[in-house]
A and B are shown apart, each in its own frame.
Chain A
Amino acid sequence: MSYRLGVDVGGTFTDLLLIEDESGKTYRSKVPSTPSDPSQAVLNGTKRICEMAGITAKELSLFMHGTTVATNAVLENKIARVGLITTEGYRQVLQVARSLVPGGLAAWIIWQRPPILAPLECTVEIKGRLDSHGKVLRELSEKNILKQIKKLKAEKVEAVTICLFNSFANNAHEKQVEEIVKREMPGIPVSVSSDILPEKQEYERALTTVANSAVRPTVAAYVQNLRNELRAQNMDGQINLLRSDGGLMSSEQSEELPVALLMSGPAGGVTGALWAAKNAGYDNILTLDMGGTSTDVSLIENGTPRLTRDTEVGDLTVRTSSLDVKTVGAGGGSIAHVPEITQALRVGPESAGAVPGPACYGKGGEAPTVTDANVVLGYLPESLLGGEMKLDVEASKKAVQTVADALGISLMEAAAGIIDIVNENIFGAIRLVSVRQGYDSRDFALMGFGGGGPLQANAIGKLAQSWPVIIPMAPGVLCAYGDATTRMRAEMARSFSTRLDRTDGVALEKTMDEMAEEVRSQLSSQGVPRNEHEVQFEAGVRYQGQGFEVVLPVRQKGFGKTGLEDLANALHKEHEKLFTFRLELPVELVNLRVTVLGQEANVSAGKITKGDGKPDKASIVKTTTVWMDGRKQDAIIYDRDKLKAGDKIKGPAIITEMDSTTLILSDHIANIDDFGNILINPVKK
């Protein structure tokens, strides 16, 4: 029998999900993460889950892995010393950057610029110049290149990036330089901008390629080590890593293109939600993945998560596709405080983290956190994790009382205020991915998961008017579902700057062919047979003169006939939807992107036993007191594992399970569906 394994490394826990391919039977496990070397937890967990299922690693045909190793390399500055080769006149491309000082007026007084990824002393410029059509204006000089390489050697660079001006239009010069660097600096990984991001804008292209170089040694070491260990356990199946865009790539490919892994972590949550949403029968979903320090939100429309062109990690923004996940510094550990001068209640972004953690954990934390507010309000039962850990209610009260005193309000009002503010902050992020992109949050269901999502999701659903609020099965390990169920993916884009009315549609169709072929051969080499490929095209178009393009799907077949006209019409329609107006101006093609996907995994969720609609047998505590809507109310606490399909639960109520707690507000009702998902809706009045 063959199995697939999804492994997701989080800050606190590493989640694993094993699926038997034929039957769809699943095994779940959770082991503590090992931040100093994350692969330890991955390997331990793999061993443990194989034992649970009574199989050996040899039976794993697919190993799929979401990792924050690239992300952390950036955040913790564990990056390579990168050498950068640029065109004469552009040595300071990263130094001058886009000249932007973030913040408002006078923010330059306090802005601290983060260090530059390729230090200026490791940046050299070479002769040779292309124009914007790719025509050679001045030739390269090998002698000159060798001289510059000597400087890089003297600086002991650990990786080299080549980014020449206008190379998006012609990669010949970069390829020549690459050959020389590889010959002169054997063993040093080389990243070439026209491979990584063959698109206009010299700063973004340079930065993205440099970022690739910067995380390459760290990611390569991690991936190689993991692969060696798995192979040593006789696991000879395919090893894939989750990309920022929610697709998978082979572990070998990820060593070449680690910049595509920067948002691998959050992507697992979105792809997991996608899988769960399909089972629950919903196409349009807002996802809410809440952890200890932050919350990730994203939007799924018609079963497709929204992508963005930029990936942000800390201070770094690179131009690689990633799922459009917005992160807010609002988690269970976020600390509430009242600044003296404004007397306003603020929550986060400071977090108590895992250590010392919220006051109620009794690990030395004294600051009032969101979790403490939940405890005070009675939303988090005293015993968590099946009784393994008892919460210190008094410590929470003491912490939250400091906020109450500063504001001159009661303890309960302060706790409720903290929750309201944190929900509002998260709602702000939801608006960024919905209303700000032209989507009405009322047309979407809201899925809450991660450790804290199920607790806040009902309230946030109320703010966003997104119904139902869905709490999937195993909300704490949903990311691993994502890793295990998503598809292989590769993509490529090309820059254009041509007016549609001056473009030859037939020639463009041919270009699309060539692009598709290139990406397909890339995916084939990662072990995805050609007959499983699904090819998609997208075009970035805008009114001539605009700075941002609108991305629209394109059909390649028959593009030569009406494709250009269809594209212009689609822009008019979309522009009006997004911005309330259209323009009678020429339309410009900015870029074309081709994406090739592998087959979808056939993993279905198991159904749970049908009940009689009455959840009474699942209740653990008949009445507990919660503070809700400004008053004390009675609530029942249920054990999720005992709930049956068809059960209906009236709020206020609390549903507990191993790693998370769901809160159902008053005037809301939860239905348990056939797959065990909790669907919360307002009670119709």
Chain B
Amino acid sequence: MAARIIQKNTTAFKTVDVDPISLDLIENALKNARDEMDATLFRTAMSPGIREQGDAFPLIADHSGLMLAGQFGSFIQGFLNNFDGEIEEGDIIWLSDPYACEGAVSHANDWLILMPVFVEERLVGWGAMFGHMTDVGGMVPGSLPTNATSIFQEGIRVPPVKLFKKGVKNDDLLKIVLHQCRMPDWAGADLNAIVAACRMAERRVIEMCERFGVDSYISATNLLLDRNKRAMGHLIETSIGEEPVSFEDFVCDDGRGFGPYKIKCTMWREGGKVILDWEGTDPQSESSINFLLNENMLKMFFGIYMIMVFDPQILFNDGFYDLVEVRIPDGSLLKPKFPAALSCRTHALGRIFDVLGALLGQRAPEFLSAAGFSSSPHLMYSGYDENDEWFQLFQIGFGGIPGRPFGDGTDGHSLWPGFTNVPNEFLEAYFPLRIEKYESIADSGGAGLFRGGNGISIHYHFLEKGTIAIHDDRWFIYPWGVNGGTPGQRSAKAIVRVDGSKEILPSKCDDIEVNKGDVLIYDTWGGGGWGNPLERDPELVALDVKRGLVSKKGAKRYGVVVSKKGKVDTEATSKLRGEMADSICTEVFNYGPDLETLRKNCKKETGLEAPIQPTWDKKSA
């Protein structure tokens, strides 16, 4: 079963010489086109998730589906392998079922548009983009049910279908799908915006074919892929060893009281090829924290991390895919079997990046960053406002950027590319709530020569009765520090009811009722620290104290004593640093307390019961 491409013109592309200048021109034009896709989307999309927070991903691919410009790698081949039908000029494909595209999109909230680009009746490329819809139906507002046990509870799944067939739009199809969504206007507008962005890619690819000639354009894209393969090949051979290195990290819990779930990866090189083997990763979960990981997407993550760590000048595309082999065990958390629930895959997705970063840095710890990916913590708040109109807020939060080889982590910033927060004045104008506090949490970043960024504390004061849902992680297992740096502080959620009583909320929960006057305290995680904190300039520590980013007590983690007046007490500092010298972690990674200790102290430290170790029957394990 594979897609059949209908081309009236079946002349094969001729490989022609492309001078280096034209090659660079085409490369730049592709980059510009990708930027134009983003600009079109952000200006016309409707849901704050896409337009304010940037939760959408563009792609321009060559005729075989390999990514030429974009950031998450190409999923087009995954789609082509699974699509049983014809594709012809004027068709626009729409899908949202992760199981129908090898995880090209990994939960049903992501709607993907694929647009084949034809020139002179031949397929010359693809434009594609997916974006996160605020709601696609299912058992909870926002369609990310923590409690789901199958994908059938997570809203409507669109199999690969033609939104446009030979240029004609299928309005009935759109109507049926939008009818399942709680926010049909937003979803309709966002889908329109994604199509408009893909049309932008189409227009630019056609222009390039006209300007340089089709054969030159195709030959150039092949050369660009080649160029990337050569550069990455060089990088792989010089920076990845043949000796296997492993790293494991955890998703704290599954929202049903079980956890943690292990994600493990082993990496080594065989000749010019890198193997990323996820053997040892826990079996799939019964709830929705599974992550159907697309192998090509993982290759891209890997490639980008390599580039950022070792040589940010390299431009990336899919050219190096042959150099990476990904092995994921069937039935594992990263390759769950249909119809496993997938909606809350964001935790595992975030953790993948911590694992990749840790793997790549092991041979050269000076290039290693600390941990910081909690996930992207979500808040949902919905109900009826004073005019009896439905409101539904979906907000992505941010935390501390980890300490890095090149400096401190930033406080309360996004690890995801292009994501921004929604202005609080905007929130207050459009939703029945007030943000009483919005600031980073002192001492939440791990201590280090370069400190981890602080997490954020947001106080949501609700003005209408409604329900909230929360998705976060790193509440149980610490974001680790490296090279002597200490772990960052874990995340926490609590609600202060209007009568003054305080309830601790779990990191993952749905359908929590709130009333007018309740205040949700939403604290995110801090990034881990980098390097020996005793080597940090005491004046910098004192400045952080003055700025309220580190407390006087927290300064002692750096061995720094700050006087009442905010000055460094030099004598006390050198004494304290002397005393602390032996306590600095000498391992590359500082994970904080071990699992057993975490479990034992969980209730006392977090107010929540420790998660129960999950067990699997033989069938799934």
Given known contacts A100-B418, A424-B28, A580-B199, is B48 in contact with A547 (CB within 8 Å)?
yes
Given known contacts A104-B417, A121-B546, is B185 in contact with A342 (CB within 8 Å)?
no
In the complex, which residues of chain B have a beta carbon less than 8 angstroms from the beta carbon of A431?
32, 36
B177 within 8 A of A: no
In the complex, which residues of chain B have a beta carbon less than 8 angstroms from the beta carbon of A90?
424, 437-439
Q: How far is the CA of A231 from the CA of B419 in the complex (A)?
A: 52
Given known contacts A95-B440, A417-B20, A546-B189, is B32 in contact with A101 (CB within 8 Å)?
no
The 8 Å CB contact of B435, one of A89, A105, A109, A343, is: A89
In the complex, which residues of chain B have a beta carbon less than 8 angstroms from the beta carbon of A202?
423-425
Q: How far is the CA of A96 from the CA of B524 in the complex (A)?
A: 13
Q: How far is the CA of A109 from the CA of B304 in the complex (A)?
A: 11
In the complex, which residues of chain B have a beta carbon less than 8 angstroms from the beta carbon of A344?
20, 23-24, 27, 227
**Least CB separation from A200: chain B residue:** B425
Is A585 in contact with B52, judged by CB distance below 8 angstroms?
Answer: no
In the complex, which residues of chain A have a beta carbon less than 8 angstroms from the beta carbon of B438?
89-90, 92-93, 96
The 8 Å CB contact of B411, one of A92, A121, A166, A548, is: A92
In the complex, which residues of chain B have a beta carbon less than 8 angstroms from the beta carbon of A107?
308, 417
Is B304 in contact with A201, judged by CB distance below 8 angstroms?
Answer: no
The 8 Å CB contact of A109, one of B188, B314, B404, is: B404
Q: How far is the CA of A252 from the CA of B527 in the complex (A)?
A: 48
B549 within 8 A of A: yes
Is B440 in contact with A92, judged by CB distance below 8 angstroms?
Answer: yes
A275 within 8 A of B: no
Q: How far is the CA of A38 from the CA of B549 in the complex (A)?
A: 40
Is B414 in contact with A166, judged by CB distance below 8 angstroms?
Answer: no
Is A546 in contact with B440, judged by CB distance below 8 angstroms?
Answer: no
Is B46 in contact with A546, judged by CB distance below 8 angstroms?
Answer: yes
B615 to chain A, nearest CB (A): 35
Is B47 in contact with A545, judged by CB distance below 8 angstroms?
Answer: yes
A303 to chain B, nearest CB (A): 26
Is B189 in contact with A547, judged by CB distance below 8 angstroms?
Answer: no
How many chain A residues touch the partner (CB < 8 A)?
70
Interface residues as binary, A325-364 with B (CB distance below 8 Å gives 1, 0 otherwise): 0000000000000010111111000000000000000000
Q: How far is the CA of A110 from the CA of B310 in the complex (A)?
A: 10
Q: Which stretch (A45-53, A112-120, A208-216, A286-294) binds chain B?
A: A112-120
Q: How far is the CA of A103 from the CA of B307 in the complex (A)?
A: 13
Is A105 in contact with B417, judged by CB distance below 8 angstroms?
Answer: yes
In the complex, which residues of chain B have a beta carbon less than 8 angstroms from the beta carbon of A497?
429-430
Is A343 in contact with B227, judged by CB distance below 8 angstroms?
Answer: yes
- Of A99, A201, A421, A578, most buried by chain B (CB within 10 Å of CB) is A99
**What's the dominant secondary structure at chain A's contact region?**
loop
**Least CB separation from A549: chain B residue:** B43
Is B412 in contact with A95, judged by CB distance below 8 angstroms?
Answer: yes
In the complex, which residues of chain B have a beta carbon less than 8 angstroms from the beta carbon of A165?
424-425
B613 within 8 A of A: no
In the complex, which residues of chain A have a beta carbon less than 8 angstroms from the beta carbon of B409?
108
Interface residues as binary, B371-411 with A (CB distance below 8 Å gives 1, 0 otherwise): 00000000000000000000000000010010011110111
Is A546 in contact with B51, judged by CB distance below 8 angstroms?
Answer: yes
Is B437 in contact with A89, judged by CB distance below 8 angstroms?
Answer: yes
A548 to chain B, nearest CB (A): 5
Interface residues as binary, B310-326 with A (CB distance below 8 Å gives 1, 0 otherwise): 01111100000000000
Is A103 in contact with B417, judged by CB distance below 8 angstroms?
Answer: yes
**Least CB separation from A418: chain B residue:** B21
B459 within 8 A of A: yes
Is A579 in contact with B40, judged by CB distance below 8 angstroms?
Answer: yes
The 8 Å CB contact of B428, one of A120, A121, A132, A341, is: A132
B192 within 8 A of A: yes
The 8 Å CB contact of B46, one of A88, A96, A99, A545, is: A545
Given known contacts A200-B429, A428-B28, is B456 in contact with A96 (CB within 8 Å)?
yes
A420 within 8 A of B: yes
- Of A168, A204, A436, A547, most buried by chain B (CB within 10 Å of CB) is A547
Interface residues as binary, B187-210 with A (CB distance below 8 Å gives 1, 0 otherwise): 011001100100100000000000
Is B24 in contact with A200, judged by CB distance below 8 angstroms?
Answer: no
B113 within 8 A of A: no
Is B413 in contact with A108, judged by CB distance below 8 angstroms?
Answer: yes
Is A548 in contact with B51, judged by CB distance below 8 angstroms?
Answer: yes
Given known contacts A131-B434, A581-B192, is B312 in contact with A548 (CB within 8 Å)?
no
In the complex, which residues of chain A have a beta carbon less than 8 angstroms from the beta carbon of B42?
547-548
The 8 Å CB contact of B413, one of A101, A109, A409, is: A101
Is A121 in contact with B543, judged by CB distance below 8 angstroms?
Answer: yes
Q: How far is the CA of A88 from the CA of B430 in the complex (A)?
A: 21
Docked complex: A557-576 residues within 8 A CB-CB of B: 575
Interface residues as binary, B168-193 with A (CB distance below 8 Å gives 1, 0 otherwise): 00000000000000000110110011
Q: How far is the CA of A122 from the CA of B599 in the complex (A)?
A: 42
Interface residues as binary, B6-36 with A (CB distance below 8 Å gives 1, 0 otherwise): 0000000000000111011101110010001
**Least CB separation from B453: chain A residue:** A108
A564 to chain B, nearest CB (A): 20
Docked complex: A447-474 residues within 8 A CB-CB of B: none
In the complex, which residues of chain A have a beta carbon less than 8 angstroms from the beta carbon of B426?
200-201
A369 to chain B, nearest CB (A): 17
In the complex, which residues of chain A have a beta carbon less than 8 angstroms from the beta carbon of B405?
109
Given known contacts A132-B429, A344-B24, A583-B192, is B436 in contact with A106 (CB within 8 Å)?
no
Is B412 in contact with A580, judged by CB distance below 8 angstroms?
Answer: no
**Least CB separation from B545: chain A residue:** A121
A625 to chain B, nearest CB (A): 22
In the complex, which residues of chain B have a beta carbon less than 8 angstroms from the beta carbon of A417?
19-21
Q: How far is the CA of A85 from the CA of B314 in the complex (A)?
A: 44
Is B429 in contact with A545, judged by CB distance below 8 angstroms?
Answer: no
**Least CB separation from B305: chain A residue:** A106
Is B421 in contact with A98, judged by CB distance below 8 angstroms?
Answer: yes
Is B51 in contact with A585, judged by CB distance below 8 angstroms?
Answer: no
A663 to chain B, nearest CB (A): 18
Interface residues as binary, B96-117 with A (CB distance below 8 Å gives 1, 0 otherwise): 0000000000000000000000
Docked complex: A565-609 residues within 8 A CB-CB of B: 575, 578-581, 583, 585
Q: How far is the CA of A120 from the CA of B456 in the complex (A)?
A: 16
Is A108 in contact with B401, judged by CB distance below 8 angstroms?
Answer: yes
Q: How far is the CA of A79 from the CA of B53 in the complex (A)?
A: 32
Is B313 in contact with A545, judged by CB distance below 8 angstroms?
Answer: no
Is A420 in contact with B21, judged by CB distance below 8 angstroms?
Answer: yes
B467 within 8 A of A: no
B576 within 8 A of A: no
Is A101 in contact with B414, judged by CB distance below 8 angstroms?
Answer: yes
Q: How far is the CA of A20 from the CA of B39 in the complex (A)?
A: 46
B590 within 8 A of A: no
Is B547 in contact with A105, judged by CB distance below 8 angstroms?
Answer: no
Is B71 in contact with A105, judged by CB distance below 8 angstroms?
Answer: yes
Is B21 in contact with A345, judged by CB distance below 8 angstroms?
Answer: yes
B46 to chain A, nearest CB (A): 4
B327 within 8 A of A: no
Is B420 in contact with A341, judged by CB distance below 8 angstroms?
Answer: no
Q: How far is the CA of A341 from the CA of B423 in the complex (A)?
A: 42
In the complex, which residues of chain B have a beta carbon less than 8 angstroms from the beta carbon of A201?
423, 425-426
A-B contact pairs, 7 of them (CB 8 A): A99-B398, A109-B405, A120-B548, A341-B231, A417-B20, A428-B32, A585-B185
Q: A98-B421, A108-B401, A342-B314 are in contact. List 10 more A-B contacts (CB 8 A).
A: A99-B420, A104-B71, A112-B407, A113-B410, A131-B428, A436-B36, A547-B51, A548-B44, A579-B43, A580-B196
Nearest 5 interchain pairs by C-beta: A547-B51, A89-B437, A120-B547, A106-B308, A545-B46
